[in-house]
Amino acid sequence: MRRPALLMLAALLASLPGLTACTGTNALDTGTSGPLLKTLPGGGALGRVLAVAQRVPAPVIRGETLDGDPLDVSSLKGKVVVLNFWASWCSPCRAESPSLVRVANAFASKGVSFVGVDIKDERDPAKRFVQVHDVPYPSLFDQSGVLLTRFQKFVPQSPPTTLLLDRQGRIAAMFPGGLTESELSAPVAQLAQEPA
């Protein structure tokens, strides 16, 4: 194989890890992205539930839902909260949506609430996404990205990312990129078993 062809192949392979998350034309550029985020504050590994001593309080997150209703995530204290950052234009978000819906339905009676955060999106396509995917939980509308900036130390600026908050409102786990039902169910069940 000729050298230019080898260089092109190497460049293509190097770009593949970045394909697990979406970027929009208005996405914030703060230098953080999924592959660069290796740990959470306190040194906890991504995709694992942090020890209680490592957990930090989640930033304030409140606003208006896609339906125009006010929602303050702190009002859900006492429940485990699954906070999913998504957008209708994001392919991995579309792929993970059925898994999120199944886990939300399975854990609804176990003190677990799901909240979406629709980022860098338009309201009408986002509402169609919710309808098509039969999403049973509310989503905050964050077209401006203001809510997302409150999580810039934790959450990549391109969706999807899912945070798990414990019953005291602390960040207990983070999953950058799309999730499957089995990847999400186990940590949600673990947090649901913790005392209120």
**Its pTM surpasses 0.85:** no
Residue 50 CB-density burial (10 A; 0-12 exposed, 13-18 middle, 19+ buried): buried
Q: What is the pLDDT of residue 100?
A: 97
User: Model confidence over 166-193: pLDDT tens digits?
Assistant: 999 999 998 989 999 999 999 999 999 9
Starting at the edge strand found earlier in the chain, the sheet holding 170-176 runs: 56-57, 170-176, 161-165, 80-86, 112-119, 139-142
User: Model confidence over 78-123: pLDDT tens digits?
Assistant: 999 999 999 999 999 999 999 999 999 999 999 999 999 999 999 9
User: Model confidence over 49-81: pLDDT tens digits?
Assistant: 999 998 989 999 999 999 999 999 999 999 999
Q: What is the pLDDT of residue 84?
A: 96
Q: What is the pLDDT of residue 148?
A: 83
User: Model confidence over 4-53: pLDDT tens digits?
Assistant: 443 333 333 333 333 344 544 333 333 333 333 445 554 545 678 999 99
Q: What is the pLDDT of residue 22?
A: 55
The CATH fold of domain 30-192: Glutaredoxin (3.40.30)
